Chain A
């Protein structure tokens, strides 16, 4: 950063170096040394599963192993007892009120560790396991989301392959619609033409019938006109005579 200040100062000082102000920052960026090696903390080495073995909760096992070749199994114990007695007898360690308070604290701490130590350890392990379970669940849900996306994409690709079926069906539908429309129009045309022709036929029939009726009426009228009054009387008298004869015949035969 200081070199940038120096460069800008030099650029303002000398007018021939005005172009250097543009090159300056680029040069600094190019010569900056970035991290080229591995990051120092990753990958983090795994935690050991059990702590180092200790005796009396304080003295590591390695101390006993160290003294074993020279003094055997009882060596460290004898050393410890001797040291304590030496300090006490020579008053290098003076017994004061601090000793009493230290003893009380030691009693408390040993009692608490023996009674609740395992419980606290399990509690801590449970907390860690819950955390791991949450992270694992999140990871699984991310993976599942990605897999679901992949399946969905594959499904859509398969559907796209079968698109031509849809197009064929649509094409067929449209062809059928065209056909239906064409047939309907054909039928309409046929009906209209038949209508016109029927009209002409019925007009002809009606004309003929009218002519027939007119002729019949005219004939009847002429015939009725041609019957004279004398002929009418004679015909009626003859009919009455015939009816009388028939009546006599009917009376003569019994009614069945």
Chain B
């Protein structure tokens, strides 16, 4: 069991690059207007998600739309592909998620502070707080603002890693139980199936949440 847990910390760099690049193969570029079923459904899904995500932005904020679409697709696809047996999900590594979260968060907050300083600082104090609470609130809001990139990265890492760990552990339990008492493996196998369903949902939802939060930070600051 220990060696299987340690696989989450041993990073094979060569296959990691393949794992990050592989989702691009699943997103073909159409060279015609009426495409095959795969591309049609992809286009429909992207339209569905992006309408929700981009409806709050003004014209200047919409220049981020390609970034957000790429983000959603990358995180969603890599999470889903990580669920396959013997595959690797790069989003389980904190390095990958931090290197996505910190630049994106900085890109939303720093221009906001530079060009619209008053509005950005005003976000640190919600409306209608009593006078004596103001110093505390400012400190708390500043800390929460500065900790956002860390939360973005750690949320994604923890969710995906936890899901993978659960599935692996339950799978190992199924194997061990099969030699002890074969009938209980039905219970554990059903658990594995349910966990897989959950993981599929979590994979997609986490991608959406990541992009949504970044678009919210963008909307607040710019």
Binding site for B on A (CB under 8 A): 41, 44, 47, 95-105, 107-108, 120-121, 123-125, 127-128, 131-132, 135
Contact = CB atoms under 8 A, between A and B. Distances in A.
Contacts of A95: 175
Nearest to B1: A97
21 contacts: A41-B31, A44-B31, A47-B36, A96-B4, A96-B171, A96-B172, A97-B4, A97-B170, A100-B170, A100-B174, A100-B189, A101-B83, A101-B171, A101-B196, A104-B195, A108-B193, A108-B196, A124-B44, A127-B40, A128-B34, A128-B35
A104 B175 contact: no
**Ordered nearest first, which 9 A-B pairs have the shortest CB separation?**
A97-B171, A102-B85, A100-B171, A124-B37, A98-B85, A97-B172, A104-B192, A104-B193, A124-B40
B167 interface: yes
A135 B175 contact: no
B105 to A, nearest CB: 33
A127 B41 CA distance: 8
Nearest to B30: A44
A132 to B, nearest CB: 6
B32 interface: yes
Interface residues of B, number: 30
Main SS of the interface on chain B?
Answer: helix
Given A100-B192, A125-B37, A131-B34, A105 B175 contact: no
A170 to B, nearest CB: 57
A120 B36 CA distance: 12
Specify which of A47, A99, A121, A124 lies most central, judged by the most chain B CB atoms within 10 Å of its CB.
A124
B41 A120 contact: yes
B9 interface: no
A131 B85 contact: no
Given A97-B172, A100-B171, A127-B44, A105 B34 contact: no
B36 A135 contact: no
B41 A124 contact: yes
Contacts, number: 81
Contacts of B189: 100, 103-104
B86 to A, nearest CB: 6
A99 B170 CA distance: 12
Contacts of A128: 34-35, 40
Given A95-B175, A124-B40, A104 B169 contact: no
Contact of A97 (B33, B168, B200): B168
Which interface residue of A97, A105, A127 has the most chain B CB atoms within 10 A? A97
Nearest to A124: B37
B192 A101 contact: yes
A221 B61 CA distance: 129
Given A102-B84, A104-B189, A124-B40, A97 B34 contact: no
Given A41-B31, A97-B4, A121 B84 contact: no
B97 to A, nearest CB: 22
A101 B85 contact: yes
Interface string B28-51: 000111111100110010000000
Contacts of A47: 32, 34-36
Contacts of B37: 120-121, 124-125
A132 B171 contact: no
Given A101-B192, A108-B200, A125-B37, 7 more contacts: A44-B31, A96-B172, A98-B85, A102-B86, A104-B171, A104-B193, A124-B37
B197 interface: yes
Contacts of A105: 83-85, 196
Q: Which of A41, A99, A100, A105 has the most CB of B within 10 A?
A: A100
A123 to B, nearest CB: 8
A125 B83 CA distance: 29
Contacts of A121: 37
Contacts of B32: 44, 47
Contacts of A120: 37, 41
A95 B170 CA distance: 14
